[in-house]
Structure 1
Amino acid sequence: MDGTLNQTERYAVEAFHKVFDDMGIHGVTDQQIIDQFGAISKDVLTLFLGKTPTEEQYQFYRNKLCEDELMLQYGAPYPGVPEMLDRLHQAGYTIAVCSNASLHHIEHVSHAIGITEKIDLMQPRIQSNPKSVSLKYLLDQEQPDWACMVGDRIFDLEAAKANHIPFVGCLYGFGPNELSKADIVVEHASEITQAIEQLQQ
């Protein structure tokens, strides 16, 4: 979702700075925040605290990290995303979002950037497990004849490899230097449909 469909940096950097200030975490740069987009939230907090957070700290972080208002004001899909999703549907593909975020977050992002009706399935994280576990659950539930993962971060690539499906790496996202082992890479969302069709041949 983030870095593949959603231009997360348009609102989330400000939201993270606000909650970090409230927690007494200072000196964090915009780029350091962006580098963690897509990671599991407890891992992000551990990194910036420099230690494992207490349950109280983690709940404060989760409750205070309110992106919804900023998301509605500034959220937007990457150029070409709505059209790309339409082309995939026209070609007969089912579109699922598999994320390290909660279902609440996936639903709110989809609404804010205007693509809710273009997403067929939403798979949130399963507890604090890596994305590979969520993806396996989704694949086991749906039993597709063929599947492909599209993403911009190493978490996405690792999930695809762990589940033995091909991976399209999005160089326009937040982790272009992490995608050297992708099966194919794209520089614009408009190229995703062709990349998927090429992998399925």
Structure 2
Amino acid sequence: LTLGGKAKFMIANVLAATLAAYLQGFKTEDISLSLQTFIPSAAQTPGRMNIFEFKKFKVLIDFAHNPSGYKGVEEYLSSVEATKKIGIIAGVGDRRDEDIRECATIAARMFDHIIIRQEKYLRGRTEEEIIGLIMEGIAASGKTITHEIISKETEAIKHAINSAQEGTFITALSDVVTNAIDIVQEYLDKENEDGNV
């Protein structure tokens, strides 16, 4: 669950769940067994640190959509070895301007290249307005980073996978988890069937 202790926010989650179970009267042996046998996956925990391992690169899908979630992913990615880290991000329209900007600033710190996409959850804003706030956040990072805009999430994920090189680590911070998981799983199944993406 903690990805070998690398996902510190997951350690906090496990500790809280363990304490709650203990206070409810569960035996420590049962708690331990539950923690050891609950394997995070797209099936059991969709959108929660789902990692897909391809032959030459990896894809992480996480439902992070606020600064706190982005910081958790950033902390995890700081321990990940990769030749290039690509992030697929979007802004959610009903967040405060500063939250959208802060998410983009954090994204600029943790990725080498950002794909901005925006097709869902505009919630009263225009796509252009949200992308503008994201661009301001990227600029505020002070880091020179490449970026591109691909509005549709499905196309953004396909583009990232098709352009991935040896050692790339792609992270999709997605608000449409099922679509993202389905697309990545389809590519992984195809690789397993015929040996290439």
TM-score, normalization by structure 2 = 0.33
Higher RCO (CA-CA < 8 Å; seq separation 6+): 2
Q: Per residue, is there more helix in 1 or in 2? A: 1
Q: Which has the larger radius of gyration?
A: 2
Q: Per residue, is there more strand in 1 or in 2? A: 2
